[in-house]
Amino acid sequence: MISRIWHGWTTPENADRYEALLKEEIFAGILGRHIRGFQGIQLLRRASGNEVEFITVMRFDSLDAVREFAGDDYEAAVVPAKARAVLSRFDARSQHYEVREERKGK
């Protein structure tokens, strides 16, 4: 399994709007693509000084599945124009990690 990790930052004033955009439109669009090998997505949020940091963690079966999502340059960030309009800054590249083990609590 592959985890794709990406960071974006907003001002505190734009944070709720950005989170709503992710949940209501962007994530729904990703799910609607029915990407083979896409396992899910997590959204993390924290206040950090005068910014709000967001992290998305996407899970895929393989790098081929990541390529189906992001294209041949699979490390390039996929940031729709509506998201760019409310983000202060963001990672231009996503990081990909092979999940070597996962254990769940009871």
Cα separation of the two ends of the chain = 22
Q: What is the pLDDT of residue 106?
A: 87
pLDDT, averaged in runs of 10, over the chain (106 residues): 98 98 96 96 96 98 97 96 97 97 91
What per-residue confidence (pLDDT) applies to 4? Answer: 98
To which residue do tokens 């729904």 refer?
28
Domains in the chain and their CATH numbers?
2-98 (3.30.70.100)
Specify the 3-state DSSP secondary structure of 85. Answer: helix
Q: pTM score, two decimals?
A: 0.92
